[in-house]
Amino acid sequence: MIKPKKFSNKNFLSSLDLSPEEVINLLNIAQKIKNKDLNLEFQNKVLGLVFDKSSTRTRVSFQVAMSRLGGTTIDLNPTTSQIGRGEPIKDTARVLSRYCDVLAIRTFQQTHLEEYAKWSSKPVINALTDLEHPCQVLADFMTIKEEFFDFSKVVLTFIGDGNNVANSLILNGALLGVEVRIACPRGYEPNSLIIKKANAINAGRNLLKITNDPYAAVDGANVLYTDVWSSMGEENQQEEKDKEFNGFTIDRKLVSKANKDAIILHCLPAYRSKEITDEVIESKKSRVFEQAENRMHVQQALLACLFS
């Protein structure tokens, strides 16, 4: 039966904190929630949001997800709390976890997130770090499942920077047995430890491909995915990266080389005419707004499992 089950790990800091079975169950719960076949109640639960970086989708989808579960959120904006004045994470985490039932943290270093998790008595969720964006890719794989049903037949090609989103697609893709191809300019490949972990899960199956050729990467792909070339915190590299990423725009020509049934994903926010053209993001193949909506459903499912 499809119902929220407690995860074996306390926290969700990395895509690899969930087992393949836990991911599948979570996606099934999310789909039932979306279809209004499942109504979950977690009255009076409180989610604390600590966001060191900007956010529209992650913040609001967590807020609405909590509200739909019957709970509430507190936005602990670091600039108006003592966090911004440098209160140690180990103190903040011990205090906040006495008030809240779960914490979602968006920050720079993965080690800072791990420090929160170490000192928090309640579960900690990665709401994006420089290394990973695991909540995002749960919504991405939900969107892919809605379209193609069977992950084993999907080829997912990510074109752009080997960043947090690419890293999480690689890890979650490995859990689900999806062929993941990353096409990035030389020097912008994904984190080598992430690649190693995915290859270990793939166990000899050639499911992860890293290339510097976007055209080779889209040949036979069902899903074309991109993200900003310069992530939050990399604003000073923008000019240089815009030059280096020339040729890595998802445009009509690149899309024409993919499978006929290919869909287009982007985690948003998007910079039109840089990583993707306006024409492609607004085309019939685009699923970016379904993908953004699915953030809310998967996070509701995630919270329900963490509260179970």
Residue 295 known to be catalytic? yes
Q: Quick one: what does residue 56 bind among ligand CP, ligand NVA, none, with the CB cut-off 5 to 8 Å set by partner type? A: ligand CP
**Based on CB atoms, which residue is closest to ligand CP, 38 or 223?**
223
Q: Determine whether 227 is an active site residue.
A: yes
Beta bridge partner(s), residue 263 = 223
The question of whether 100 is a catalytic residue gets the answer: no
- Asked whether position 226 contacts ligand CP by CB under 6 A, the answer is no
The sign of the torsion formed by the CA atoms of 207, 212, 213, 214 equals positive
Instruction: Tell whether residue 19 is a contact of ligand CP (CB under 6 A).
Output: no
Select from ligand CP, ligand NVA, none the partner in contact with residue 164, using the beta carbon and a kind-dependent cut-off of 5 to 8 Å.
Answer: ligand NVA
State which residue has the least CB distance to ligand NVA.
Answer: 231
Fill in the amino acid letter for 30: A
Helices (H), the chain: 20-34, 57-69, 89-99, 110-119, 134-148, 164-176, 192-202, 214-218, 238-244, 252-256, 278-281, 288-307
Cα separation, 5 vs 255, whole angstroms: 39
Please enumerate in sequence order all residues whose Cβ is within 8 A of that of 267, keeping only pairs 6 or more positions apart, or say none. 133, 136, 140, 165, 227, 291
Cα 179 from Cα 172, distance rounded (Å): 11
Is 267 tagged catalytic?
yes
**Run of H or E residues at 226:** strand 223-226
Which residues of the chain form contacts with ligand NVA (CB under 6 A)? 128, 163-165, 227-228, 231-232, 267
Rank residues 63 and 97 by Cβ distance to ligand NVA and give the closer one.
63
- The catalytic residue among 161, 267, 300, 305 is 267
Residue window 132-151: x/- pattern of binding to ligand CP, with contact defined by CB under 6 A:
----x---------------
User: Which residue number, 92 or 163, has a Cβ lying nearer to ligand NVA?
Assistant: 163
Residue of 31, 57, 106, 305 marked active site: 106
Site for ligand CP in 262-291 (CB under 6 A): 267-268
**Closest separation in Å from C-beta 44 to ligand NVA:** 30
Three-class DSSP category at 111? helix
Q: Least distance from C-beta 138 to ligand NVA, angstroms?
A: 14
Any catalytic annotation for residue 68? no
Q: Bridge partners of 157?
A: 181, 224
49/228 with CB nearer ligand NVA: 228
Strand-pair category, 46-51 with 72-75: parallel
- Give the type of residue at 270: A
Dist. CA 262–CA 253, nearest whole Å: 13
In the complex, the smallest distance separating the C-beta of residue 295 from ligand CP, rounded to whole angstroms, is 7
- In the complex, the residues that contact ligand CP under the rule CB under 6 A are 55-58, 128, 136, 267-268
Catalytic residues: 106, 133, 136, 227, 267, 295
